[in-house]
Amino acid sequence: MDKATQLLETVSELTKRGKGILAADESTPTISKRLQALNIDSSESTRRTYRNLLFTTPGINQFLNGIILFEETLFQKTDEGTVVPDFLRKHQIMSGIKVDKGLVPLTNADGDTITQGLDGLADRLRQYREAGACFAKWREVYRISEHNPTSLGLRSNAEVLARYAAMCQEQLMVPIVEPEVLMDGDHSMARCSEVSEAVLTSVFEALHAHHVLLEAVVLKPSMILPGKSSSHKALPELVASETMKVLSRTVPAAIPSINFLSGGQSATEATANLQALNAKYPKAPWRLSFSYSRALQAPVMAAWAGKESNRKLAQGIFARRVELNGLACRAEYDSNMETE
C-alpha cells in the first residue's frame, strides 16, 4: 500500500460523519492551572486519573472518532492496565498526539508569536506512531489587535504549520492543522473575519508550497466570533453565516473535514454554533465537526472535583456533552436537550 493510500484510509476513519475529536492534549502547565482552579492537586497520578475517567466513559465511541493526547498520556495505562492507545483502539477510537512545544514571541513581529517544536519532530513522530498514534496536532496562535497579526506573523506561522504537516505525512501521520484566532479582546466579528481570512489564505498557500496532500489534512480553525470583551454577542445563525463566508473563500474542497476548536466558547455556545453551521449548510464540501477541549471538559472536571465518588456523575456529563455535539454534527441538536 502506498503512502497516500495509507493516509487516506486513516483520515477516512478520523472523519466519519456524526462524530468528532476530543482534545485532551493540554500541556502539564495548562491542565495543572485548570485543576488547581478547582483546588485539585496536579500530579502525574491525578492527571492520569482524570483523563482515564474521560477515556473509559461508556459509549463515547458512538460520537468520537479520535482523541488527541498529550505525550505524558500516550505512554500511560488505564486502570485495567492497558496502554491508552491500545485501550482506545479496542473501543474504535483513534489516538492522536499534540506535537508542538508551545509559544514564544516572534522576533521583529511586534506582538505576534510562533510555535516551537520542529527540531527533532520527524524522530518524535516515528516514536509516537510506534506507540500507537495515528494522527498529530499542531497549534499556531494569532492574536487580534489593530496591527496584529502582522504580515511577518502570518507568513511565519503558516510556514511552520506547513512544515509540520509535510513531516507528519512523510511519517504516515494525518496532520491536524490548527490556526487559532484568539477570542481575546473587544474586536468585532468583522475584524475577526478579516483576520481569519488572511490567516487561512496564508496557511493554504504554505500547504500548497510544501506539497502537502490536502485530502489527508484535518483543519481545526476558530469560528468567526466577536471578541470576549465585545459588547456584541452573536447568535448562532450569524456565527454560522460569517464562518461559512470565510471558509468558502479560503478552504479548498479537497479538505475532508473541518473540526472546529471551541476557543473560549461555553459548552452550550460551542454546540449551538456547530448545530447552526450544519443546519444552515448541509451541502458544505467538508464535514463540519468538532475538536473541542474546554467545551467538552469544563463541566466534567467541575463535577468530578478530584473525588472518586463523583466519577460516574462526571462520566455521565461527559457522555452527554459528546452526544450533543455528535447530534450537532448531524444538525439534530436542539437547545431544549440541554435541560433533558
Task: Show which residues are catalytic.
Answer: 178, 220
Half-sphere exposure in the Cβ direction for 128 (13 Å, CA): 29
Q: Which amino acid is at 330?
A: R
3-state secondary structure of 42: coil
Q: Are 243 and 301 within 8 A, CB to CB?
A: no
Pairing of strands 113-115, 103-105: antiparallel
- Which three cell numbers mark 304? 468530578
> Which run of H or of E encompasses 290?
strand 287-292
> Which run of H or of E encompasses 298?
helix 294-304
Q: How far apart are the first and last CA of the chain?
A: 48
Measured in degrees and rounded to the nearest 5, phi and psi for residue 311 equal -60, -50
3-state secondary structure of 320: helix
CB atoms under 10 Å from CB of 338, counted, come to 14
Alpha-carbon distance of 242 to 188, in angstroms, equals 12
